[in-house]
Amino acid sequence: MRRKLLLSLLLLIAIGSRAQNVVSIDSCRNMALRHNKAIAVADQNIVGAGYLKKAAKAAYLPGIDFAATYMYNQHKIALLGEDAKLPTMSFDPKTASYKYNVVTNPETGAPILDPKTGSPIPTEVAVIPKEAMTYDIHNVVAGAVTLTQPVYMGGSIRAMNEITKYAEQLAVSMRNSAVQDVIYAVDEAYWTVVSLVQKRRLAESYAGLLDSLYNNVQAMYDEGVATKSDVLTVEVKRNQAQVTLTRADNGLSLARMALAQVCGVPVNTQMTLQDEQLQNVAASGEAPGAFDMQQVYERRQDLQSLRTGIKIFEQQEKVARAAMLPKLAIVASYGFSNPNTIDGFEKRFGGGFSVGAVLQVPIWHWGGNLNKLRAAQAETAAQRLQLEDAESMVDLQVSQARFRYDEAMKTLAMTRTNLASADQNLQNAEYGFSEGVLTADDVTAAQTAWLEAHSEEIDAAISVQLCRVYLGKVLGLMQY
């Protein structure tokens, strides 16, 4: 029994702690960064770029390869179609030279010719049997271990190493851009929830005001100092306030789901935001003052990606140019075969080493390599123009963001001024209604103006927060 009671108590404590799970905007950012799939993909791209960088460095080192082959042949190979009969020679001391041993005419001493071939008829021949020049190649196995050391590849190896280095930097820049986009989306969803929380509280307060007014008008109607029309007018406003409150509840629930989805947690996760406990959303902090656009260009991750892209295209030009230059490599190998011909023709494995150099000099390719170089140069030029266009767009973004922020700050100041006036107007209307000077319509009008003033103040305060975040994003000052 005690054990069950203890487990129940622990369960209640866990549920209570979960219900009181208060998260800050930094916590939401961290959750989003941990669970966002686009950032996970970008992380894997960085890892892959790192491996490609290591692979490019390996091109400087000698490569060792092994190749082997097996072949079955139907026939043997015979170098002779029949037995070969070769004439012989004898040394003649009189002439100190060798002479063919041929049949001669006893009378004239001239060689007797073969009537079929027209060649002298030898007196004796050396016979090479056909079988001696026939080799068994039914089963042939051969292989080689080759070492290749590049000496000069026209600069392509160095260019590829530079490309992989810049590709890794590009992957990092793209990840940083993705992180900034995620953070901005989290901030937008976070402050939307805070805004709807404040508006829901505002709707509750508005409904409470109408409930109080309805009770007062109903009491006055019972005493005969108010008309039925006054009661119905307040009741209509009261019902509208309940509808507004219901819409605020639904909107808040959807906004919380959207925030949970951006944070990468289940949409039904209950999170209490730290800033929703504030009665008034404060627009703290100041916007950056004067700033150097050149520094903005250097901080912007998207512009950094374009600059890195230019460097990659410049290295691709070098790769295209390398195809037009000579290439030199040292090659060493050990080859073996069975049968082997190293010492006769033996049906056993035999092999040996060989060392050499390979030189390749492009001479004429009908302009193919030159056109590839020109195409690479055109891509580099296009990337530079894209960077210039992006910098001009950044100028426009920064100007617009600064104007929007200044406008949001001015709007917030005006809404807070209007808020004070609306509060005072509502107090005056309620006092006048209690004194019998003003009607219920006057009070509901003052309440509506009060509701609009508070709603506009909340929107302005949230707008300042979002404008500050966006301004930091376009200036490259977003912390992440």
- In angstroms, rounded to a whole number, what is the distance separating the alpha carbons of residues 205 and 187? 27
Strands (E), 110-269: 125-128, 134-135, 139-152
Distance CA 309, CA 166 (A): 8
Q: Which of 56, 121, 58 is nearest to 88 (CA)?
A: 121
Boundaries of every domain in the chain: 21-61+153-325+368-474, 109-152+328-361
Single out the residue of 254, 279, 252, 206 nearest to residue 457, CA to CA.
279
What tokens were used for 443? 């009070």
Nearest to 155 by CA among 276, 315, 14: 315
Residues 156 and 160: their CA atoms lie apart, in Å, by 6
* Residue-by-residue pLDDT tens, the chain, 480 positions: 444 434 343 333 333 444 457 888 899 999 999 999 999 999 999 999 999 999 999 999 999 999 999 999 998 888 888 888 888 888 888 888 888 888 887 877 788 887 887 788 888 888 888 887 888 888 999 999 999 999 999 999 999 999 999 999 999 999 999 999 999 999 999 999 999 999 999 999 888 888 888 888 888 888 877 778 878 888 888 898 899 899 999 999 999 999 999 999 999 988 889 888 765 555 555 555 667 899 999 999 999 999 999 999 999 999 999 999 999 999 999 999 998 888 878 888 989 999 999 999 999 999 999 999 999 999 999 999 999 999 999 999 999 999 999 999 999 999 999 989 999 998 998 888 887 788 888 888 888 899 899 999 999 999 998 998 899 899 988 876
CATH architecture of 21-61+153-325+368-474: Up-down Bundle (1.20)
CB of 260 closer than 8 Å to CB of 183: no
pTM above 0.85, yes or no: no
Burial (Cβ within 10 Å: 0-12, 13-18, ≥19) of residue 282: exposed
What count of residues does the chain have? 480
